[in-house]
Each structure stands twice: as structure tokens, then as C-alpha cells.
Amino acid sequence: MPQQDKATLVPLPPVDRVQQVIAALADYIQHSGLRPGDRLPAERELMAALAVGRSTVREVLSHFQALGVVEARKGSGTYLLRAISGATIHMPLALDTEHLRDALLQTLEVRRGIEVEAGMVAARRRTDADLVNIETKLDEMERVHLAKGTSGPEDLAFHLAIYDATHNPLFRQLLEQMREAFERFWEKPFDRPDFARRSFPFHRTLFNAIAAQDTHAAREETLKILAIVEEDIKEMSK
């Protein structure tokens, strides 16, 4: 297991065991160097390290599995699917994949308000270092987009940099999971690599608004991007 010397699991007092094991395991995962795809310690190892029974360990692992954080593979063990820490909010967002169009529109409806607020807060609070980070991600997004005609991962990295510029970790935690909740269902939305391509120029104008600390412009540019996403969901899912 990678870098186990950086993290330890210690016995817990007999109070609210499940919640304590949840917190302890999340903290262990954060500091152990485990990455998505790595295998977690075996049940027996967790039981011994935390001084809890098998049923408690299994309840905690089931909790993380329900949140989409880990995956149990028969005969192989439990594997980390995405990063986790003791401070992370985890939302078990369930979408009806048989009616993907409606699920995407419902999610977008909720995302819109939070995305807009994140852009405005970033415009107010961004530091010079934040601007360098956001523009670096934007430059890479533009480079890949111009070369390939699509830039999904780079687009996500750009928006995550904006969430970080709010200096409120809840924006990133909430929005990252909301995006993952439906983006994981496909690599190219509706088998269309041109999904939301028309929003490309508005990412630069959104950056300009944040750089100018113009909260109104940041709001408007964010709304333009999301309006195109909504239009393409409706058009491409016909």
C-alpha cells in the first residue's frame, strides 16, 4: 500500500463508533497517499487498528459505497473511487439514468444558482495567485479545445479553479459532486463531442470579469455558459 508511513489508524473510545470510524477512515484515506483505484486496508486490518467489530467496519464501508466513494470488488477487496477527507461533504446524488434528459435538466436547475454565486464570490475574493491559476487552466483549456474541438477535463479544471478562488471550500465540494453525478454517465454527452461547444468563448469573458472583480459580469457570463448547456441538453436529447 502506498506511503502507509504517512498515516496511522488508532483505537477509538467506545462512543458513537460508526461516526468515529467514518471520520477516522476518511482522515486515513486523505493522509495515506491513497489515490482513486487503490485498494483500502482489509476488513481485518481495519478491525484491529480501530478496535471495532466486523459489523461496524462493514457498516462504514457500506456508507462510503452508497456515496460512491469506494467500490467493493468480489474476491479482491474495497477500492477507492475518488478522493475523500474528513472535511468533505458527500452527497449521494441519485439520477434516473433511464430518463437522462430530465435528470440532467433537474441537476442543472440546482447547479445554476450555485455556479452563478460561485462566479460572483470568486470575482469579489480572488487573489493575484488565484488569477494566475485560473488563467493557466483557461489557457490549457483553449489550447486543447483548438487542437481537438473538445476539452472536457480541461473545462472542469478551469471551473474548479474558479470555485477555489471563492475561498469557500463548500462551493468546490458541492459543485464538483453535482457535476460528477451526471458527467460520469458518459464521456461524450449524447455521443456528441460538440456538446456545449458554443460556450467556449464565454469562458474567457468569465475570466475577464473575475479579473476585473466585476460581479455582475461574472454572473452574466456564467449564465451564458449554462444557458448553452441547457439548450444542448434539450436539442441533443431529442
* Predicted local distance difference test score (pLDDT) of residue 222: 97
- Kindly report the CA angle at 59 between 23 and 71, in degrees rounded to 5? 85
Cell of 163: 470555485
Helix, strand or coil, per DSSP, at residue 73: strand
* Predicted local distance difference test score (pLDDT) of residue 62: 85
Q: How far apart are CA 114 and CA 174, in angstroms?
A: 9
Cell of 118: 460561485
Residue with cell 434516473: 96
Cell of 190: 449524447
Q: How far apart are CA 160 and CA 172, in angstroms?
A: 6
Instruction: Name residues of the chain where pLDDT drops below 50.
Output: 15, 186
* Predicted local distance difference test score (pLDDT) of residue 135: 97
Q: How far apart are CA 232 and CA 87, in angstroms?
A: 35
* Predicted local distance difference test score (pLDDT) of residue 94: 56
* Predicted local distance difference test score (pLDDT) of residue 234: 86
The answer to whether the beta carbons of residues 98 and 184 sit under 8 Å apart is no
* Predicted local distance difference test score (pLDDT) of residue 89: 55
* Predicted local distance difference test score (pLDDT) of residue 181: 57
